[in-house]
Structure 1
């Protein structure tokens, strides 16, 4: 009778324990946001004239630079993307607010014959700047005129 009692006790304990839920596969990673044909997961450069300035979105930092020092750096959060607009908001080490907003509208810098796929608005503290933006690779590869777009890389 003892083995039957032991088996009954095991069955009773098993009946009271919660059933294991099937394991779910991990959620696929969110696709990188794309705005105006620009992959926002890759480095992006916003720039303006009068005064000359730029903000490099490196993926980890937002780096503001202009002819007059100082260069300002702030951590780069994930962008808030709403429709045709992407916004990054952060703060520099000295507490200055830094906000970069990119809008998927064609933009001309006003000093060259280049056209960019994005319009940029930058706010640093109480200063507001407007300019244009594109992927950093496209800005570096672009000529003196025409659209600033990334060229396709040949397959290896």
Structure 2
């Protein structure tokens, strides 16, 4: 190869290497051609982030359903505690519906609707109306983010 072409070939190799590495995002050494997926936007119903723990509750009889960690957990004064595995809610307009199943074959449906609700016993107004069904049991009440329920009313 003539001596005059050697610097040109070396220069072309450097340009090619620079062009290839210039496309890589700065500081991202794990990137190998595919971008990581964007984080999912939070699912919000009535101002409540459904990706965070939520509690549905009611009176007469006193009952509660905790929605957290992929499960619906029913508790109540005259109700045995039951845990139903449940995935993400189905969203239609202003309604979210969870369907769950227990190890014993029991099923449950929890419906939250973005309408203000009163529990009938306090001055608290909840952002969601709740309906819970399992077997022959049908319960009506309200729902709110668990973190908000732990705050003092009016805070």
TM category (shorter chain) comes to 0.7 to 0.9
Runs of 4+ off more than 3 Å: none
Contact 1:41 1:59 survives alignment (8 Å): no
Aligned residue number for residue 52 of structure 1: 62
Alignment of 1:3-152 (within 5 A): 23-143=33-153
Q: Would you say how many aligned residue pairs link Structure 1 and Structure 2?
A: 124
Q: 3-state SS of the aligned residue for 1:137? A: helix
Contact 2:61 2:78 survives alignment (8 Å): no
Greater C-alpha Rg: 2
**Distance change >3 Å, CA 123–CA 69, structure 1 → 2:** closer
Deviation at 1:58, TM superposition (A): 1.3
Unaligned 5+ runs, structure 2: 1-31
Unaligned 5+ runs, structure 1: 1-21, 152-156
State how far apart, in whole Å, the 1-side matches of 2:50 and 2:136 are: 26
**Distance change >3 Å, CA 69–CA 51, structure 1 → 2:** closer
TM-align CA RMSD = 1.6
Question: TM-score under structure 1 normalisation?
Answer: 0.74
